[in-house]
């Protein structure tokens, strides 16, 4: 059963939907939990597309499957450009669902004739304090020759996720493929990138033509990783680098 806080938050969100008002932060830190993720999805499903442009669902512990259900609903409705799913145990299933929000058009189950359109894709995505590994990052940002769409994404927050070296390689690979050419801000503090992950990420900086803010704090990069980042900064447009305890 939903807590009093969760019931109150859902009531406010439903009332906003009925009045065709933006949902905004009505569901932020509402302690809703995985059991009532379906209720959130149902609430969003009933909303008019214009009311879903900015959705803040931070701090609800929906779990990976709950997040997957919610994200699929948001993708089906379309129109969302700013989304905060931080602190919700997002992992592989939810990461796969995010693909449909990040890409203007994506293939479903490899069927070229079956596509889901999500407008222009997300502009701002906040996923701090989740369970996103390198595998999940690769699901969100594939960089194979078959995936060439440049994302609309301008801001990405992945701080405090266990991305590891594979996550750094996935994001760096997406940069090198030109898929993150619009990205202006990238937050990767405390993502266990290590020397290899930081070096892989640095290798894509010259292709991230819009990137201005980069946070690599607390990633145990060591001298090798820090040197790789420093070497690539000169070829990038990064004007603000946060690297507290990067080594």
pLDDT digit string, tens, across residues 225-239: 999 999 999 889 999
Question: Within 10 Å of residue 213's Cβ, how many Cβ atoms?
Answer: 15
The residue among 138, 137, 102, 96 whose CA lies nearest residue 117 is: 102
pLDDT digit string, tens, across residues 53-86: 999 999 999 999 999 999 999 999 888 999 999 9
pLDDT digit string, tens, across residues 136-147: 999 999 876 556
pLDDT digit string, tens, across residues 161-207: 999 999 999 999 999 999 999 999 999 999 999 999 999 999 999 99
220 in Cβ contact with 191 (< 8 Å): no
In the prediction, which pLDDT does 104 show? 54
pLDDT digit string, tens, across residues 77-91: 888 999 999 999 999
In the prediction, which pLDDT does 146 show? 59
In this prediction the pTM is: 0.91
Residues in the chain: 247
CA distances from 191 to 76, 134, 155 (A): 30, 10, 17
């Amino acid at each position: 059963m939903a807590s009093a806080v969760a019931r109150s938050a859902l009531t406010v969100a439903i009332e906003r939907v009925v009045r065709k008002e933006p949902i905004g932060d009505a569901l932020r830190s509402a302690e809703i939990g995985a059991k009532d993720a379906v209720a959130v999805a149902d609430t969003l499903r009933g909303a008019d597309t214009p009311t879903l442009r900015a959705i803040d669902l931070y701090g609800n512990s929906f779990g990976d499957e709950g997040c997957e259900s919610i994200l699929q609903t948001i993708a089906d409705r379309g129109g969302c450009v700013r989304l905060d799913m931080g602190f919700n145990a997002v992992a592989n299933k939810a990461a796969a669902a995010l693909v449909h929000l990040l890409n203007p058009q994506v293939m479903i189950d490899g069927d070229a004739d079956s596509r889901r359109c999500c407008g222009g894709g997300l502009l701002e995505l906040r996923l701090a304090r989740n369970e996103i590994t390198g595998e999940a990052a690769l699901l969100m940002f594939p960089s194979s020759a078959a995936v060439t769409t440049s994302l609309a994404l301008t801001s990405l927050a992945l701080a405090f996720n266990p991305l590891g070296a594979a996550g750094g390689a996935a994001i760096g690979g997406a940069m090198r493929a030109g898929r993150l050419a619009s990205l202006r801000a990238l937050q990767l503090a405390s993502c266990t990138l290590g020397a290899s992950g930081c070096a892989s990420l640095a290798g894509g900086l010259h292709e991230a033509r819009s990137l201005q803010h980069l946070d690599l704090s607390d990633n145990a990069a060591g001298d090798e990783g820090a040197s790789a980042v420093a070497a690539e900064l000169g070829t990038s447009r990064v004007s603000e680098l946060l690297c507290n305890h990067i080594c």
